Amino acid sequence: MGKHTIVALDDFWVSPPPDFDHEIIEYATTGPDQLVERMKPATIVTTAAMKVNRAGIEAAEDLQLIICTGTGSDHIDKVAARERGVTVCNVPAQNTDSVAEHAFALYYALRRHVVELHHVTAAGVEWSKGHVFRRLDPPPRVNSEETLVVVGYGAIGKAIERMGRALGMQVLIAERKDAQQTREGRVAFTDAIRQGTILIVSAPLDASTRGMIAGPELAVMDPTARLINVGRGGVVDEHALAQALKNRKIGGAATDVFETEPATAATSPLLEAGVPNLVLSPHIAWYSSKTKQGTLETIKVNLEAFVAGQPINVVWKIPTLAATKLYFSSAATAHVSATLSRPSLAILASPKCH
């Protein structure tokens, strides 16, 4: 029976049972200079955040499937995958609550100056002088005074809306920026940006959303408004945002995502010294016990379905099964599917994308 070679570029897996018939090669992380060599033996690749480019895809001569262990797939060269007849699938909707909750964690940290006040309190000087409350000036709003604008109305955006309403906020759903008409229940993009006191971005990155919030959008925002990005780096122009914060054009910002990750001061102006009213986290909004368990289950189901010739959660699929380089006879496929279904084959992954 033919075997699959599964290469996990940046995941961690539970060891397979003794009778598992396929090879797993796992790496905690993979650098760009290691990608080509590591992908060469793969028939299946899993990736959380590692960019899988044309060179890697072309180096893996027997590659059949790429599994993104989260929702996002913008780190895969889907043109190269299409040309090679490689199926790309993802793990959708497992991190919804985690990302939405993290957005509000960033919001409260920003609104209440939590990080700044932690350092002030730990220093043990300013509090004794009795003026520490001035760190919060102008006085922050309470939930019922906020107008929350949701930019990106997928599963995460809907969860953000639900949580915002539960907190007593007025919630507006921004229409797509390039929309010709405004749908019922939505507000025209620029009008929403103008009205919001909080903007939470949960939009994916594609050609229509890259740079969607830049200088012109920041310029029309309420000067006390706060912007939170838990969508994708690149949706918000980092240079324009850093400049708006330095010039006090908006009240503050927080982001979990960056155009280049891992971000450093050399790659992102948001990490440079002197940017005020800013809270950062390292693309960790997705991580929770619920996300992890759901991802494990979905990856296993993705593998089972692909081996059975009926791939699911497909981002890009080869046009016909005839184009697939099948490694299994019908009997072998049935055996592998049964093997993958065993509880002992709990395949773990680190689903960084969302």
Residues labelled as active-site residues: 232, 261, 283
**What is the rounded CA–CA span in Å between residue 179 and residue 149?**
17
Assess contact for 24 and 8: CB atoms under 8 A: yes
**What is the rounded CA–CA span in Å between residue 22 and residue 42?**
11
What token pair was written down for 277?
Answer: 């009213």
**What is the rounded CA–CA span in Å between residue 315 and residue 212?**
23
SS3 category, 181: coil
Assess contact for 71 and 92: CB atoms under 8 A: yes
Nearest one of 67, 91, 24 to 292, comparing CA atoms:
91
Sign of CA dihedral 19, 304, 284, 268: positive
**Can you name the residues that pair with 316 across neighbouring β-strands?**
88
